[in-house]
A = this chain, B = another copy of it.
């Protein structure tokens, strides 16, 4: 199966290929993401745009961090806060309430000539009071998954990838394509 992953991030393609058990192809398409709080909407619109440019089966992925006390904000928009004001600003955002609970969500959206299908992975946890660990990726250092005493930033890549929202979303997608195409 020839499958493309529309992303500029080579590392994401490697990780996805590993989870899926076959090599997917990277393609870098210039697509503006739409404004939305939910990664689901962002991913669906991006996948439609990618398919209409490529005319081949393609996936896109979007990941967000939803702070419960803020009605889910910043959600899919988290990277704009991190880019503008740094990762620690997420801690300050969570200070607005005594409830520091949040969840990380990845949506993988697959698009082909039949339409789109979305697969999501969610990990609940808390926003820490300070960044902890090294900044592997985005806001890893300020998110501590439920049941763990380490942030994603304090885990090794292997530890994180076993439990992450991204892994859950790609695993759900894997089941779907295995059902469609048999073991690949």
- Shortest distance from the beta carbon of A61 to any chain B beta carbon, whole Å: 15
**Across-interface contacts of A86 in B (CB, < 8 A):** 71
- Shortest distance from the beta carbon of A77 to any chain B beta carbon, whole Å: 5
The reply to whether B96 and A92 form a contact with Cβ atoms under 8 Å apart is: yes
The reply to whether B73 and A80 form a contact with Cβ atoms under 8 Å apart is: yes
Task: Count the copies.
Answer: 2
1/0 contact trace for A83-116 toward B, CB 8 Å?
1111001001101100000000000000000000
Complex Cα–Cα for A84 and B76 (A): 12
Given A33-B35, A34-B35, also A71-B84 (CB < 8 A): yes
What is A's interface to B at a CB cutoff of 8 Å?
Answer: 32-37, 42, 45, 69-77, 80-81, 83-86, 89, 92-93, 95-96
What would 29 A/B residue contacts be, using CB atoms closer than 8 Å? A32-B34, A32-B35, A32-B45, A33-B35, A34-B34, A34-B35, A35-B77, A36-B80, A37-B80, A37-B84, A70-B81, A70-B84, A70-B85, A70-B89, A71-B83, A71-B86, A72-B84, A73-B80, A73-B81, A73-B85, A73-B89, A75-B80, A75-B84, A77-B77, A77-B80, A92-B96, A93-B96, A95-B95, A95-B96
